[in-house]
Structure 1
Amino acid sequence: MQQSRTTRYIGYGVLFLTIAFTILPFLSMLSAALQPQGSTPEGIDFSGQLHWENFIAAWNVANITPLLRSSVILVIGVVPAVIIFSALAGYAFASLRIPFASVFYLLFLVGLTIPFETLVTPLYYEISAMGILNTRLALILPMIGLNMPFAVMWMRSSFEQMPRDLIEAAEIDGAGHFRTFMHVELPLALPALSSLGILTFLATWNQFLLAVVLINDPDKRTMAGALQAFVGQYQTDVVLLNAGALLIMAPTLVLFIFLQRYFIRAMLAGSVKG
């Protein structure tokens, strides 16, 4: 009993430290964002006058409205495509007999090992040769490709953990692969699809390097590119920088709050196999 109580207290302590290390950076950013413009915030301080108008100023200084529109278009173009293609590929790798399937799957594994930065220069010349440089397609197509290796592995793992008795029952009832995929396995894969959508959204929404390299028009870049507006040649407005960073993070936080149950279910799915 004593050991169990000690273990419980240690667990509570680790949980408290984890929560503290997670929340403190956000509190620090919020505190800095509410200080007077041009000041240098030190520590976490909410005692003085709070300048909520800094968020409006940051929005206007960074001209976030067109960047928000561009990021939304990018997310709409990338996330559904990644979910659809990875679901189909994951089901194929898990349930179908594909010639040279192991070779194709190995190629996806190799795609996970290649550093993203090494692909930027080849991507630039390829996109330029395609004639779509400085267009939103120049971001959408590479982002779909870059997210596919992880997405296919994620969905393949999910489909491999499906209860075999349900699949066998569908086959006995005469369901083909398409009906089994659409009406049996896809509904069961909803937590994995939701969590994959969140991860793909985060990777797409926070994309900065590709947007700077492939897009010349600042208004066609992503929300993350708005942070450049607060970094000058000789000084950086720390207050507006933190306010802008919080504005950029807000959509991802809201999305995670609404879909966290699906994300957690998908994270735990690997420990319990049907």
Structure 2
Amino acid sequence: MRLSRREQIVDHLVLGLFALFAVVPLIGVLLSAVTPAKENEGSFAVPRRLALGNFGSAWDQGHFSTYMVASLVVTASVIVLTTMLGVLAGFAFARLSFAGSGLLFFVLLGGLLLPAEAFIIPLYFNLRGVGLTDTFLSLILPQTAQSLAFAVFWLRNQFRTFPSDIVEAARLDGARDLRVLWQVMVPASRAPIVTMCVLIGMWTWNEFLIPLVMISSDDRRTAPLGLTFFQGQHLNAYSLIAAGGVIVALPIVVAYFCLQKRFISGMLDGIADR
């Protein structure tokens, strides 16, 4: 369906307006991060000179090296665990026939509807009962469980669209289910899997409630939680707070820009049939 010239103009205006609402606050944070501390009053203003030293000061005073390492450990672990389990479960629901698969799949999808606020208190007492609070496992296991429902849903749909003739050809050559999965379907599904990993990585990196409840030690705080404590200690240091925010957001931004082609390909094209 071709859009008329008027419809195209309206679409671009609407998209431009939404983009403006999204970009302007980010520009404000970046400008605040490079504004000298004595000149920063918390307003949207272009600095007279750049103070890049704010990033070094925020890094040192906010102990962001410790927080970033903790976030990297948790995020990487969640991505790896969720991807491994999601690939196996997605293949099982998409290509294998077993009793109760339909019911089990819809029960699993219930995880997409359950917010963390609904289970965080019983989860805390359960993990405290087995001695896992204030550990990385208390962050990795719940967030893996949270992300797994989406991973299974995403990969099940992707594997169901995989060309059946390729699968049948592999099985005629003697390949069993696991070989078909890891040597045939997964390599052709790199773009959708990368898209899933980027989304899960973003959600895990930005998670705040679970670390807030589960972690009490400073060396196990994640970057968003550490930024909150840093903000509480520097309420009026707008330049340092903005610099800390940029530091925390930078890894996800860099990861997205490095993987954006595969991310977009996974969102739009799905499984490659080559």
TM value normalised by structure 2? 0.91
Change (3 A) 1:67 1:50: same
Q: How does 1:202-221 map to 2 (within 5 A)?
A: 202-221=202-221
Structure 1 counterpart of 2:44, one-letter code: G
CA contact (8 A) 2:90 2:156 kept: yes
Query: How far apart are the structure 2 equivalents of 1:52 and 1:45?
Result: 14
Unaligned runs of 5+ in 2: none
- RMSD across aligned positions (CA): 2.3
Match of 2:131 in 1: 131
- 1:106 aligned onto 2:106: yes
Which moves more between the two structures, 4-13 or 69-78?
A: 4-13
Number of the residue aligned with 1:40:
41
Number of residue pairs matched by the alignment = 271
Question: Deviations 1:42-96 (Å, cap 9, x if unpaired)?
Answer: 22414x1221111111112211111111111112221111001001000000000
Q: Within 5 Å, which residues of 2 pair with 1:69-80?
A: 69-80=69-80
Q: Does 1:245 align with 2:249?
A: no
Aligned 1:66-105 pairs, distance under 5 A:
66-105=66-105
> Is the partner of 2:232 in helix, strand or coil?
coil
Any conservation in 2 of the 1:230–1:236 contact (CA below 8 Å)?
Answer: no
Q: CA deviation at 1:9?
A: 3.0
In structure 1, what residue type is equivalent to 2:198? I
Percent identical residues: 31
User: How far, CA to CA, are the matches of 1:44 and 1:266 in structure 2?
Assistant: 39
1: CA distance between counterparts of 2:240 and 2:70? 21
Contact preservation (8 Å) 2:162, 2:271: no
Instruction: Give the TM-score of the pair, scaled to structure 1.
Output: 0.91
Deviation at 1:233, TM superposition (A): 7.5
| Aligned residue in 2 for 1:30 | 30
Report the Cα distance in structure 2 between the residues aligned to 1:131 and 1:251, rounded to whole angstroms: 31
Distance change (3 Å), C-alpha of 1:233 and 1:58: closer
Q: Distance in 1 between matches of 2:75 and 2:4?
A: 47
Q: Which runs of 5+ in 1 are unaligned?
A: none
Matched-pair contact (CA < 8 Å) for 1:191–1:262 = yes
Deviations 1:220-241 (A, max 9, x none): 1101112223433894432221
Q: Please tell me whether residue 121 in structure 1 is matched to residue 121 in structure 2.
A: yes
Distance 2:12 2:98 in 1: 48
Q: Secondary structure at the match of 2:44?
A: coil
- SS of residue matched to 1:232: helix
Contact 1:230 1:237 in 2 (8 A): no
Alignment correspondent of 1:171? 171
The answer on whether the counterparts of 1:82 and 1:147 sit within 8 Å (CA) in structure 2 is yes
Alpha carbons 1:61, 1:229 under 8 Å: kept:
no
Distance 1:77 1:273 in 2: 30
